[in-house]
Structure 1
Amino acid sequence: MELTAEQAAIRDTVREVATEEIRPTAAEADRTETFPEDVWETLADLDLTALTVPEEYDGFDADRLTYAIVNEAVAYGSLAVATALSVHALATSCIAEFGSEDLREQWLPDMATGQPVGAFALSEPDAGSNPAEMSTIARLEGDEYVLDGEKQWITNGQRSGVLVVFARTDPDDEGSVTQFLVPKDADGLSVGTPEEKLGLRASDTTSLSFDGVRIPAENRLTEEGRGLAAALSILTGGRVGIAAQSVGLAQAALDEAVDYAGEREQFDQPIADIQTIRHKLAEMQTTVRAGRLLTHDAARRMERGEDARMAASMAKYFASEGAMDVTNEAVQIHGGAGYVESDIERFYRDAKVTTIYEGTTQIQKTTIARELLDG
């Protein structure tokens, strides 16, 4: 199924912004490990920070396929920027879907404008890929919850103004995971030192500590014990977003490799005339195209209300591993020029994280096998 005229126009507009405004900032942002806030303002001006905010709260309210298209196009410019945007969108999704009317009215219109930035605090130092093992606790005391615990690998950890936090309401019950909205300026909440990472270095990634953080009971987003199911539901859409970003990153690497192969000469001919290079590019093109089709299929299934867990996991698994393959081959085609500081080597470093966050490749395979074999 082809894109609608509106979807194609959105894709082309965001791709142009990614090429002309996002990509030129990426090298410096990576080198200095700072997020390009001017780019964030550009995304806000395009209403992209409102992607998952309903229209009644001044949002874009994008359908699932449009959401995927935007994620791919932004990642074409910078995966770090696309990651920040998708996490902000996860936070607004949670508030829109699970928050009370008062919480939605209080937070969503401003978040639609890009400020405050949202963060999604699920991962913990010892919980890994099993959020049921989380140890952050939220105790109900009168009309407040008191949060204690540690979160790790939090995108937008420093720059965010509001957090969606997952915590147990009963320390002895792994089924008591609940979702809460926590303002970033809450007393007792502290932000750790930014992580020094292999790639995605412009992304703001930190730990968070909760030491007696008090929030109103009304800031509970889900019923007690319903937070994990809510998280898994939201993460299905998140995996489609990461699949789309993986495709965007791979497409950027492929385009650079095609251009370089046409310009670089060896043995008195462009290397694009050498069969080995031609076959590499053919494989790369096929990988990018297949990843995009899987991603769009998962997005359309979600939009139709189908159970898209397996489709989302297949898209995320294939597209993220595909991004690793394509960026690796792009480095190889560039030779020494791809190994020194450049867009190509950054693409290669950035690609690895797509096989890890929002569920590792192994978690995706487990999900696919479960849906396939266990029903």
Structure 2
Amino acid sequence: MENNASIFDDGDNQENPPPQEHSVLVSNVPRGTTRDDLCKAFSTKGAVYATELFENRQYGFVRFYNASDVKNVLTSKPPSINDSQGNAVVLRVSPISDEPKNVLRVGGFGPEMDSHLLREMITTWTNGVKPLNIDLVMTEEGQSKGYAFMEFQDNGAALEAYKALEINKPQYSVEFAKLRDVQKDFVMRRMEQSCYQTLMDLGEDASREGLLKTPQRWAKALQFLTRGYSDSLHELVNGAIFDESHHELVLVKDIVVYSMCEHHMLPFWGKVHVAYIPNGKVIGLSKIARIAEMYSRRLQVQERLTREIANALQETLKPMGVAVIMDCAHMCMMMRGVQKVGASTTTSSVIGVFETDPRTRAELFSLINLPKAML
């Protein structure tokens, strides 16, 4: 399996990468193409910063240093790469902001569907329109998840296949794939390949039974553990803020959080207590726990996590004061390094009256049974 690290034409500039908007989506890539081939092909169009490509996948991304090079590649004749037979294959290039117009997402398959069977049957279902590439999405157990991405030669072929599938296989759902779905699939495959390579570098046999599906499981687990990156505070709160004349302390105690240390990518976990004093508005109590969850499901340090929860509540409610206190155990201290089992870390972040008024702070600490020495 190919290592999928990007190719950089100048390693000294990796610390200041150009924005993602300087990228293009490349499809119709011949099988056997390497990232180096892709880099050389697009270097005729501009200064290439990085290329990304999957083994056995016929699409990838090319990122340029300059926005003008992106415009050039989108408005000029696309480059070509020779296939295994020596024939020149013209690449298809589209801006990453566009939805792919030649990729269908077909769903409704049973768990018994496999890639070989799907490839045998698809041209019958589409009245002879043959996909360039089929990616049947699988579960950890090796069964079909019920849907596949199918890339066709162009929009016309995809539209013809779309209509044929609706007539011949009405029990299946057919739609043009969203770019975010294609990108999500791309990211998952890249993570799987990285895990596979790491296992090999550790001296393991990544093809043995116990590790055969580990790259897929690991990629899915890490996506779950860091799903907070895909959440936003505005969408999470979703308007659950209400006018209320209550001006006394509101405290949600013992919210269990799990996070990942950004230094070693090892877990830390514990409890967080969140308090605020309203200033004419209150928030749905479940939203406080969801805010803590959102920020904890990212690569973190406990000090920043504590502060981010407090700042989020302050930004959302503009209360008279906010206090967040967190107590966690860190695996990076327990299973490596100093190896001190049982040690815990307490952090706090106080804003407004909790910072300026010792009596308010004392009331909070008494409610969560913290020692007076912390006042």
State whether TM-score is above 0.5. Answer: no
Decide which structure has the larger Cα Rg and report it.
Answer: 2
- Larger RCO (CA within 8 A; separation ≥ 6): 1
Greater per-residue strand proportion: 2
Greater per-residue helix proportion: 1
